[in-house]
Chains A and B, each alone.
Chain A
Amino acid sequence: MGLSRFKKAACVILTAAVLAGLLAGCGKQAAEGDVQSNGSKTDDTEEAQKTITYWTWVPTDSQWKLCYDAFQKKYPNIKVEFWRGEKPDYDKKLQVAMAAGQGPDVLGMQVGAMLKQYEKNLEPIKPLADSKWGSGWESKLSEAATKQTLASDGTLVALPINFTAQEFVIYNKTLFDEAGIKDVPKTYDEWLDVNKKLTAKGIIPVAFGGKDGWHCDDLFIALSNQFGPGKVYEAEAGKLSWTDKTFVDTMGAIKKLFDNVFQKGALGVATYPDARDQYFYSRKAAMFPTGTWHVSFTVAPSGEKFGTKIENDETGMFILPKIGPYDPVAIAGVDTAIAINKDSKNKDAAWELFSFMAMDEGQQIMAETVQGSPSRKGITVSLDSVKFQSEKDAINAANKIVAESKYKRQLDYPELSDALGVAVQDVAAGKPIDKALEELQKVSEKIKR
């Protein structure tokens, strides 16, 4: 009898404990001040102090520290809760949070497919910009800044923090000198020649991150403009077949690069961290194809180069050599944009941060870190902390190329981007080019444009 009573009591206590635990999780947030549904907080007891949340993948933590120190001096009453992750982690976190109505006040945005998906969740910028910055503010930004950050209906929903361009090759000039190489390659044949000299010295010539679909996309899009300028965008729009001769020739060139120029096993190497760390920064490879965002690695003291085996080596950058009949061109675009969450409960404070990063002092700070080129016109970068002239030249060249580029980098359809990356990898691995392009065309045909 006593045992039976104990059992009953145990059941009731256990059930109550479990329920209390579940409910406590819901009640906890309500107890911590006045929590807003978009994840930011306002504290009633300190009305002057506002707290907003900013999630992104760029600026990096060290770049953000510089930005935030300056922001806090200007706006001591605005506290920013900053979260930064690598882009894939950021994508996952943001998607879940926005779906749950818990997204940040200010968010990093990538133009192209990502912006198209989030455009309905973002605050239109033009009305705010017109009222806060006055008329004519657009003339202070580069033309592409306001063109690439439009929603499908033409509404401006973000502004760039920086621009970058692809496809470039960062090279170790010191290793080039040791191998007796005086000039960077400008053509495919010159590249083969350079590679031969480096291989003779036991240096792996090129470390390409072929594992990454995004890098395969960039390589294809950049290279296709050497075989048919602008045609890749016609194919993106569904106006040209992906089996067109331009793309057959492009894939042929890509096969040649994977077979004869890039390191063996490139398809198994990620750009970050492997191609960069295991090969280039470890002084095992002399060249590292990447985008202009990477020139920041030479900026002391926070540049990635420092603390690696190449920290005392001179480096430089050149555009992907000419392989097709047309000259190589850069594909440029907004690298990271900044936007305001439409559901933010602190839009005034969010606007101050937005303005700081997109138009004001944040542009100069980010430009000094050389994480891409600024979108604001008239910003000059001192480059005093960059050691070698070739590295300064690389940074200046990157800024000039970005400003002059006519071709965009990102495709607007994520399924097309994914299929293109797969097609490039398939061809590099030996699949017939026509088969790979036919499959790409099938994906393109299913897209609702």
Chain B
Amino acid sequence: MSIAKNKLAKKIVPYLYVLPIIILSGLFLYYCIGSTAYTSLYEWNGINDEIKFIGLENYKNLFEDKVFYISLFNTLIFFVFTVGIQAMLGLLLAVLLRAKLRGHTLFKSIFFMPVVMAPIIIASIFRIMMDYNLGNLNVMLRALHLDFLAVSWLGDPKYSLMSVIIVNVFEWMGFSMVMYYSGLLALPDDVFESAKIDGAGFFNTLFKITIPMLKGTTSTLIVLGIVGSLKTFDIVVMLTGGGPGRSTEFITTFLYKRTIEEYKAGSGAAIGIIILIIAFVMSIIQIKFYESSQKDM
């Protein structure tokens, strides 16, 4: 009898361990996702109880809306450039820091500081710095007789998206640096010593040893970058508001405008579900890609 009880207990205990997180994620995650999906099937202004079932019409209207595609495109460009540039700069910094030059601890803290600052503060500061007439950036460029580089960073559609990307890279580069730094510390030293003995220089070591061995970290950063890009809202609103025109309209600012400014909560919910599906699919693709590349190795 007691053996049977023990067996039963052993089966139940693991479930009891995960029960708290299931309850929490069920309530705050899956219930909310379900509720959003439900709302996306209705025409609702988000305020009163007049709610009308319209099926998939919100989705149909979105797929016929040019602004939806513009916002997706801008978000994709943002993702590609921010993840790429952040990864490159983060890796470079991590490799330099690993060399443990004088002051490396201080520099590590300095590079990581923007990660812990509130995005609103970073965006507010950059908004002032990037002003065409009075911002420090253009004032400095003009002082160096580089007037041709003093553009309207936030007010010209040619440069506005790039400016948002620059601010985001500044904010999150330190995170990539720390991830790569941790990855580098976990790599065996004898591999690098052997490479050195064989005469491999800095760039050969970097491209043929370091980067391939940090594939896992890169994959993680890409997945986080996908999710982060699809969530980016605060810096866009603070810097450009989605403009000029639609040049920095992101899928998140589009969702906000639909739901809050246009009082179309049903349509906003549909955008939310689409964001979720995109994040899910892209993450799966990235993980599968990484796993298959691991198998090849």
Contact = CB atoms under 8 A, between A and B. Distances in A.
A35 interface: no
Interface in A410-435: 414-415, 418, 421-422, 425-426, 428-429, 431
A268 B260 contact: no
Nearest to A103: B47
Given A121-B48, A265-B155, A431 B245 contact: yes
Contact of B134 (A88, A278, A415): A278
Interface in B45-67: 45-48, 50, 66
Contact of B46 (A99, A418, A428, A439): A99
A34 B262 CA distance: 35
B45 A117 contact: yes
Given A11-B13, A11-B16, A211-B243, A265 B45 contact: no
* Interface band, chain B: 35 or more
A414 B261 contact: yes
Interface string A56-96: 00000000000000000000000000000000100110010
B152 A422 contact: no
A445 B228 CA distance: 36
A132 interface: no
Interface stretch (A12-20, A37-45, A235-243, A347-355): A12-20
A400 interface: no
A8 B131 CA distance: 61
Interface in A261-277: 263-270, 274
A429 B133 contact: no
Given A120-B48, A268-B153, A418 B131 contact: no
A417 to B, nearest CB: 8
Nearest to A121: B48
A284 B131 CA distance: 13
Interface string A93-123: 0010011000000000000010001101100
Interface in B101-158: 127-128, 130-134, 152-157
A426 B244 contact: yes
B134 A425 contact: no
B134 A91 contact: no
A425 B148 CA distance: 23
Per DSSP, are chain A's interface residues mostly helix, strand or loop, or mixed?
helix
B257 interface: yes
A19 B21 CA distance: 11
A91 B157 contact: no
Most buried by B among A11, A92, A113, A270: A11
A11 B11 CA distance: 13
B168 interface: no
A418 B272 CA distance: 20
A418 B249 CA distance: 12
Nearest to B134: A278
B257 A418 contact: yes
B262 A211 contact: no
Contacts of A113: 263
B240 A268 contact: yes
Given A117-B45, A117-B47, A269 B263 contact: no
B244 A414 contact: no
Contacts of B47: 95, 98-99, 117-118, 121
Contact of A11 (B17, B66, B153, B243): B17
Contacts of A439: 66
A267 B262 contact: no
B19 interface: yes
22 contacts: A4-B13, A7-B13, A8-B9, A18-B20, A22-B23, A88-B260, A95-B46, A99-B47, A117-B45, A117-B263, A268-B130, A268-B131, A268-B132, A268-B155, A268-B244, A421-B243, A422-B246, A425-B244, A426-B244, A429-B156, A429-B244, A431-B245
Interface of B: 6, 9, 13, 16-17, 19-20, 23-24, 27, 45-48, 50, 66, 127-128, 130-134, 152-157, 160, 240-241, 243-247, 257, 260-263, 265
